[in-house]
Structure 1
Amino acid sequence: MQPKRIKYYLLGLFITGMILFVVLQFNSSNNIHKLIKGNEQLLQELNVKNELQKLQTNMAKTDSKVRGAVISQDTLHITGIEAEIAIIKADLKEINKIIKNDSTEKLLTQLNYLVDEKNTFNLMVLDTFYSQGKWAAERMINNQKGKRLGEAINSILRQLDTTRQSEVNRTTHLIDSSGQKAQSWGTILVFFACLTSLLAFLYITSRIHRQEQLIDALDESQQQEKKLAAVKEQFLANMSHEIRTPMNAVLGFTHLLKVQPLNDKSKEYVGAIESAGHSLLEIINDILDISKIESGMMRIEATSFSLRSVLHGVNTMFKPKAEEKQLQLSVTIEEEVPDILYGDVMRLTQVLVNLTSNAVKFTSEGEVRIHVAKIWAEDNAVRILFTVSDTGIGIDADKLGSIFDRFNQAEASTTRKYGGTGLGLTIVKQLIELQNGFISVESKAGEGATFKVELPYTLGESLLEEGNSYFTESDQLPLHPDVRLLVAEDNKMNQNLLRHLLSSWQLQYKIVNNGKEVLQALDRQHFDLVLMDIQMPEMDGYSAVQAIRNELHSTIPVIAMTAHAMTGEREKCLQMGMNEYISKPIIEEDLYKMIQVYIGKLPPRELPSVYHLPHENGTLHLINMNYLHDLSKGNAHFEKTMLEQFIAQLPEELSLLKQAVVAEDIPAIRATAHNLKTTVSFIGLQQHLYPILEPLEKLQENNYHSNVVAGQFNTLKQLCIQAVQEAIHILL
């Protein structure tokens, strides 16, 4: 049978089946309707029988009360007789209403008369009882009139019941007949439905079998391609991660090399190494981003942020490069655009940075413009249009449709001349789509390009209202209101140091005392970066960062802060899930650069040169105030607070160390020695006290000698007493 004819046969079968189905359904519905009507009639007849029985019962009850009242001369029996008579009349009225027809009209007339006579007779008996006494009332009862009336009423009720019983029998027969017919038609309908379902099932099964064969063939042809794609994605991700760590080291050592005395040629070489390293790191980051997006690991994290602050940061970032190329870089934002928005500020920044970077890169003369406008607003929602335009090389019209494809640039020569992977615009497009926005481009070759990005946001809450959670400990408003840091540190002196540094940089921050509080804070609020001490009570930094990665599934940057300076400590931190490592005592410049790298929102800053404190009277003291002076930048109040904290805290920690030494509690000795390293580092005691504290910090059970440890503690105690005395002298 030809496939085309099958369609017509199926159509004819379908129409025939539908007609048969309608006929069957009509007959089935008709019989069901008769069945329902018969049930209603049966219920009515049962109601009639019930009403007749009630009337008979109430009549007998009334007679009994009247006789009882007369015989016993107890008037309590008389109570309610008039109400009973009223009920009898109501029952009679209901019977007249529900069974009145031609066949029962004569019987109902007689019943009404006899019931009225019976009620009248009962009332007369009661009147006689009240007026003439018991014997007169008994004579009326014994004259058989009441008995004859009762028998006549019962006779009529039996006749009515017999009449209704025949009607019940007729209705029951009708119900049985309709039920049997409905059952028969229902059986036919079920049989037809089963037959139709079977035929449809066989046809659909055959079609599905054919489709499965085609799908298997298609899957077989695509299996190898999918395997190769998965291998490629995994390779890119692994390669990017493996290269990123040594590249950070290369850039770090390059930066250190730049500050060394070098001749002009060496400076040129170092600059080339740094430039190439940054380019390679950008390529690696692009590959990582595209891998995260395609694997579903890229997440949108919404928070309130200042739009104008973001634009200011982008302008600050690219202004030096634009000036170097003699380009005019302008950022404009219309007045009606709200400043505080709620959305993913990190992804917005990444989009704007990528588009602006391309605009500056591909423009040799002219200008680069960033314009922001509000195109729609309703209630608490807005849509913002970001326009990034330039006067650069432009894009051919036939290339516009493919510039967002992976590893694609407008011309093959573009990669050789300008560099890059061709992933930037792909990442931008996917990041925008993740935020439910869209991007378009307008361009002509040689006339520049204009990228338009439309993103939805909701109005955010004012960042200055969150003073209970974030603070700067100064009267100045935060310079960077969209930057929020979480600091985990249990040492009070280190907390004071970080308060001073972060406040001086006008950053918002929150300080917690252990790893558990870190997890609670991250669960409640959004932060951009965590500064994590390693050795803390309740939960240490290693456990906290593993919980951040594995339980919270957060990719927030985490910088480890520790007094451990042993070989391999940085590698251990990175292996446990940290992004970077900084040793104590904290160097201000190093910490700021790390925050700047991982936040991406802070401008570079000029840090003052180190201040060297001269020796007093040529005598070398234990305390070295250089580090504290460098941090304070002339803030005498901060220096005084730190010295007072040192004078109060050092004896407490020495006391804890003494208790641990006396109890030979090796874990407590190690922990207290570690905390002491942080405390003494702020006032330059590393040179004198670290040689004693480090062996105590590394103390092991299999190499513990109580006499040696006691001697180390006594030496440490003498030096600490001298340091406290010097600190008191400085304060005076």
Structure 2
Amino acid sequence: MSISKTKDLIGQLSNLERAVSEFSFEELSAEDAKELQLSFNSFRNSIEHHIYTPKTCKKNNGSEIKNKEKEEIERKLLNQNQFIAHVSHEIRTPLNSIIGFANLLKEENLNESQDKKVQAIQFASTSLLKIINEVLEYSKISSGNINFETIDFNLSSLINDVMFLCQTLMLDNNIKMIVDIDDDVPTIIKGDPTKLSQVLLNLLGNSIKFINKGFIKLSVSVKNAHKDHNELKFTVTDTGIGISKEKLKKVFKRYAQAEDDTAIKYGGTGLGLSITKEIVEKQKGSITIESKEGKGTIISFTIPYAVGNAKNIPLNLIESSNIENGKKLLAGTEILVFEDNLMNQHLIKEQLMKWDCKVHTHINLNKGLAVLANKKIDLVLMDLKMPSINGFEMSKTIRQHKNAQINTVPIVAFSADFTEQDSKDCKNIGINDFLLKPYTLNELMTVILNNKREKTKRTTIKKMLEKQMIEPKETTKVDLDNLLSDCFGELDMLNELIKLFKLNALEFIGNVKMHLKTENLQEIALSAHKLKAGFAMLKANGMRQLIVDLEANSKAGNLEKVKNLYQMFLLDYPRLEENIDYHLKMLNNKNDG
């Protein structure tokens, strides 16, 4: 072959390689892109081999080259994902300190100006964390490292929690949040509740971001019913800005935004819908989108879920306990912390000391073993990714120690990233639990209460925590027995009434938030008047009295008092709902038994 023809062919190959790379990046999933890249590399290498060594080409060269190319691409993908995980860890570590100290600062006696600045820090750091999480999540999905759990969970409670969170994100006062769940949708299903929450929050969050007026509606129905499972259909409809036909084809692609300036206007990585699509499809589901520019968007997805059993859902009493009860239980708890980062050492020590814990930091392995031998340590908090000797090795040394006081101490690992392999290693070593940085103070408290070596008997702690359920704060008390009698003992009717009540409560939250902005106290009084009958129905006398006070102060024009009462409502209402769900579950279990 002549030199000019050789150069021309190689040039054409280079152009084709660029076109293949662009097509793979923009149009294909990670798996399809990998297959196309393998095929092209095999084709390119075969041609180059014929050009440079035509006489020595053997029949089996194609398969050998293909295998080598496959290994090379897999190696590059592995290195890429390891790099993303490493960078994520490096960013999360200082971010943990920023969020942690901002949370501590929020508890101080701040003036209005200082409080706003702390809120700005919290918002910025939380936004950054969301971006990091999205990039890391996409990396896991692309490499096939994402895992799904299969557990029984309450679908109604999950949707209620998601919608309640979305209500708090609403900034526009002209938008209604609507939930429509068909009667034949099962309450208890079996699958991955965390992933379902993630998908719903992604889709509803997008609707909230791109809507100016109208409504956002979440509908749930049974698309196909089978003996052992149901294919559920979730539809999110909004009256937002919509998407043009040209851009609609790309919304599920990586790093795609509907318009070039969307990221500037609304923020985000452009990975949200791509991640959502992958999560749905990896659960044997499908997702579709319809949209009209200036009219709104409809996104529907289906996922098959097995039929669940309410008896398999554990009651997490510790999470139901309030912060004050938690502080009482933690007072005097002695904790050993293995953490190499000085800033994080200072942060966690201050967090724990606020709960009257005794804390040992600045510890290496030998000093730590000495502390464990000479002090009655209730819990070890172990950073997994320390440079000198990592947390896995330290934990293994503790577990293999001959001294029973040392080798039986509860260990909670914490780190800025956590892989499936880390989970297996923790289980094999005997690490009791895991906490992902950055964590909230409630998460830290819960994981310690769940795992610490008790100085008091576990039955005493359980009784204290159960007492919170029996004798909660006045505004969170409910009594469903009378309401069940009013429903002639029909649990289905009771469930339906509570479902309607929860929707009314969400509507009340949205209305008050809207009318507080315009200081329309007359409308707030009207909303409160409508809701107080629901609390009377549930015998939630404490919360009913709060609503009565809110109505009275609205009519009297006491704006600041109304604001304070509304904030009390927002703090206590989630706890009241927890108690409703708890008592409702007890009634359902009693009926099943």
Instruction: Tell me which interval the TM-score lies in, with the shorter structure as reference length.
Output: 0.3 to 0.5
TM-score by length of 2: 0.47
The one of the two structures with greater contact order (alpha-carbon pairs below 8 A, sep at least 6) is 2
TM-score by length of 1: 0.38
> Larger radius of gyration, structure 1 or 2?
1
